[in-house]
Amino acid sequence: MIRPAEIKDSKEIAGLIYEIWEGMDLFVLNHYSREVITEGLSEAVADQDNKFSHRNVLVKEQEGRVAGIVIAYDGSREFELHDRLIAILRRCFLRESFESDREADRGEWYIDMLCVDKSNRGQGIGTKLLEAAETYGAKKGFAIVSLNVEQDNSGARRLYEALGYQEIKQIMIADHEYAHMVKPSGCATGA
């Protein structure tokens, strides 16, 4: 079942965000332990209004556990939500600067993160989560859904293209090249 995340899911969601950060090779991973980082991320997920807030997360629940997540929000709020996240992480552990690169554009329902637990991959969960996030964005009035995929992640890129996403530009996130991809949400008007 795909459902909105709840505060009780915070630790499992934080573990999946950490997994994504590992793939991005973020600098904070070299300065703090997994436990410290996931505790801070868990607090962020439990919070009401930041980019990783449970209010921005849909989860795929399977056998009582979080099998996958998708995090999505209004692209025009990206920096505001990032700043709120950093304030929480600073309170928990973060001492270094953690600047954000522009990842989304105004008027986009931005899919920030998609992650399926390693033991549940290959079952179509990621596709179902993407579709649920797209539908949610359309219901909120967004005509465009966007996401970013690292340039050398050809498998994910093929999936996104098969689902109707098209690259419109290249951007840099955390010193890595990404394709910014968009897709009409099916909603006739923009938010």
| Domain boundary assignment for the chain | 2-184
> pLDDT tens track of the chain, all 191 residues?
999 999 999 999 999 999 999 988 888 999 999 999 999 999 999 999 999 999 999 999 999 999 999 999 999 999 999 999 999 999 999 998 888 889 999 999 999 999 999 999 999 999 999 999 999 999 999 999 999 999 999 989 999 999 999 999 999 988 889 999 999 987 655 55
Contact of 147 with 165, CB cutoff 8 Å = yes
Contact of 183 with 166, CB cutoff 8 Å = yes
pTM: 0.94
Q: Which fold has domain 2-184?
A: Aminopeptidase (3.40.630)
40: exposed, middle or buried (C-beta count within 10 Å: 0-12, 13-18, 19+)?
buried
Residue-wise pLDDT for 148-160, tens only, equals: 999 999 989 999 9
Residues in the chain: 191
